[in-house]
Structure 1
Amino acid sequence: MSDETRPHGRYAYSPLPLRPPYDWPGGKRLAVYVALNVECFDFGGGLGAELAPGGPQPDVLNYAWRDWGNRVGVFRLAEAFDELALPASVLVNSRIYAECPGLMDAFRARGDEVVGHGRTNAERQGTLAEDEERALIAEATAVLTREEGRAPAGWLGPWISQSRTTPDLLAEAGYRYLLDWCHDDQPTWFSTRGGGRILSLPYPQELNDIPSIVGRKDSGAQFAEMIVDTFEEMRRASCAAPLVIGIALHPYLVGQPHRLAPLRRALAHIASARDEVWITRAGTIADHAIGLPEGLVPG
């Protein structure tokens, strides 16, 4: 069987309705986290989301639009999180510390979680040879550990890019959970080589502003409506099983005033239900799942 057709072998099939139930802290059944992607890009090359079809490099229109997110939009989002008393998981490219000095101070002061997100979003890690990917993970991890005073526990690859060995490399580098796979609404154990394992935490592909706004050309109001509708439907479904909602945000998109206004209303809707749902950070959800009795988390 070729590499292109063989199964991934990371987890077994497990239908949600047949799993044993468990609770999140406080007897709650729905966990919600906000994932804020703080990213940098190459000038004159590399990958990057586009506001409009790019011209010849250097593509100033799209580069400057993305850079606005790190100079303006990210701080507007931090203010909105403060107003609503919302924690955040900040998925950060390691080169942000050199290219945008002081940007992360606001989130460090808030006590937010910092998640590894590669070096830059101008590249994908899944296309690299294994030794090159290992070096990328090591480089990004070393920077985050030095700057934040602790090693990150979670990882999301730039552009949600993984090779066939990424879970193994992350586990071997000391990571406790990864976010790249959107295959479930509950945490899932992934098998890794050598008899190890790493937790996969649900990360949104639908409730993610890039596929919504850049990919499908949804408006800010439509994206906000998606958040509210998803929250209400998942709150209903969580009566039967513990579930996780992640909301993936990028400052250059939803930091824009016309998108921030409806986003603020959607997040306020979720914040108003904090007595019924667990609003927390991705790493805290992972810690709780890792501490559950064996057999409750599928794998």
Structure 2
Amino acid sequence: MAKFDTKMDRYPFVPITKRPTYDWPAGKRLAVYFALNIEAFEFGRNPGPDFTTMPAPPFHRGYAYRDFGNRVGVWRLIDLFQEFDIPLSVLANTAVYDAYPEVMAAFRQRGDEFVGHGRTNSERQIDMSEDEERAMLREVRDRFEKEEGAAPKGWLGPFISQSTRTPELLVEQGFGYMLDWFYDEQPQLFRTDLGPILSVPYPSMELNDLPAVFNRRVSDAEFADLLVDAFDQQLQDSEKYPLVFSVALHTFVMGQPHRTRNLRRALAHIASHRDKVWITTAGKIATHALSLPKGTLLSPDAAGSRASAAS
């Protein structure tokens, strides 16, 4: 019988039922954050499917569909989150500063968190050499620092794409946490050759509007139901251990009027439990997790030790 190598030396396997427990601020056990993707694409390069037919140059339908998000959809979503007094983790391409500066100003005025999300969603880290990726990360860090007065602490790669050296490069360039790996419902320390980086849960497949609506064909009402059901289940589970409930949205998807109306229902439900949960940002979750007593978060070195022992 063939034996498969399934070792992963970036983080250890420990069931959630056997970990140290802790609280979020004010004794809460469920942390809630919403990640809003603010993206810019280069016209003439494939921005992804237009969800009708296979895309072909000059890809104008896919570009126009996504451009709608920054022209119309984002403003509808800002109004909605303002109504419920919910902060946002804004996952932004730095090209947005040049193409849509009013959008970034609106989030700055709200006091939302900015998370590094590449230069543009027309490129992926996996397609870059190590030097190209390093230069891109440095450029993104420096642009945020210039525009916002501080470099972002968090990172999500365009297309949630990583190279084999991305975690090391993120540490090297001063990033403190990443969202690219969704393998848990608690923040986890992730091993790199330059010391650990924190992995904060991000709904890359499940509670992410883009794959849900267009890949899995979830209806608009069903997506709102998914948010409510997941929130209720995690709120119940959080009586046993601390958890993170996260939702990923795109302006050109959830900013459509019919979807915003359904999202309103889910936000109203979540906001009605504000006294029981910590509604916050990914950055504040990372800060709190890293402030916990030593040993509360699992050491990523245990993964490497177990892998070495098994080999």
Using the alignment, how far apart are the partners of 1:127 and 1:185 within structure 2? 29
Matched, 1:57 2:62: no
Using the TM superposition, give the Cα deviation of residue 42 of structure 1 relative to its aligned residue in structure 2, in angstroms: 1.8
What SS is found at the alignment partner of 1:33? strand
| 2:77 equivalent in structure 1 | 77
| 1:208 equivalent in structure 2 | 208
Contact 1:54-1:62 at 8 Å conserved across structures: no
| 1:22 equivalent in structure 2 | 22
Using the alignment, how far apart are the partners of 2:6 and 2:163 within structure 1? 14
The residue type paired with residue 198 of structure 1 is I
Using the alignment, how far apart are the partners of 2:270 and 2:35 within structure 1? 15
Using the alignment, how far apart are the partners of 2:136 and 2:174 within structure 1? 14
| 2:222 equivalent in structure 1 | 222
User: 5+ unaligned residues in a row in structure 2: which ranges?
Assistant: 301-311
Using the alignment, how far apart are the partners of 1:76 and 1:5 within structure 2? 48
| 1:112 equivalent in structure 2 | 112
Using the alignment, how far apart are the partners of 1:289 and 1:23 within structure 2? 10
* Cα deviation code 1:93-134 (max 9, x no counterpart): 010100112211111011000000001111111221111111
What SS is found at the alignment partner of 1:261? helix
Contact 1:46-1:123 at 8 Å conserved across structures: no
| 2:244 equivalent in structure 1 | 244
Matches within 5 A, 1:183-194: 183-194=183-194
The residue type paired with residue 107 of structure 1 is F
Contact 2:47-2:63 at 8 Å conserved across structures: no
The residue type paired with residue 192 of structure 2 is T
| 1:166 equivalent in structure 2 | 166
| 1:129 equivalent in structure 2 | 129
What SS is found at the alignment partner of 2:102? coil
* Cα deviation code 1:178-201 (max 9, x no counterpart): 00000000000011114x111000
What SS is found at the alignment partner of 1:103? helix
The residue type paired with residue 196 of structure 2 is R
Q: How many residues align?
A: 295
* Cα deviation code 1:201-249 (max 9, x no counterpart): 0000200001101111212111111000000000011111000011000
Using the alignment, how far apart are the partners of 2:250 and 2:16 within structure 1? 30
Using the TM superposition, give the Cα deviation of residue 149 of structure 1 relative to its aligned residue in structure 2, in angstroms: 1.0
Q: Compute the TM-score of the two structures, normalised by the length of structure 2.
A: 0.92
Choose 68-77 or 120-129, whichever is displaced more.
120-129
| 2:176 equivalent in structure 1 | 176
Root-mean-square deviation over aligned CA pairs:
1.4
| 1:139 equivalent in structure 2 | 139
Using the TM superposition, give the Cα deviation of residue 288 of structure 1 relative to its aligned residue in structure 2, in angstroms: 0.1
| 1:291 equivalent in structure 2 | 291
Matched, 1:277 2:263: no
Using the alignment, how far apart are the partners of 2:138 and 2:145 within structure 1? 10
Using the TM superposition, give the Cα deviation of residue 51 of structure 1 relative to its aligned residue in structure 2, in angstroms: 2.9
Using the alignment, how far apart are the partners of 1:6 and 1:15 within structure 2? 17
Using the TM superposition, give the Cα deviation of residue 72 of structure 1 relative to its aligned residue in structure 2, in angstroms: 0.6
| 1:268 equivalent in structure 2 | 268
Contact 2:30-2:278 at 8 Å conserved across structures: yes
The residue type paired with residue 202 of structure 1 is P
Using the alignment, how far apart are the partners of 1:123 and 1:46 within structure 2? 10
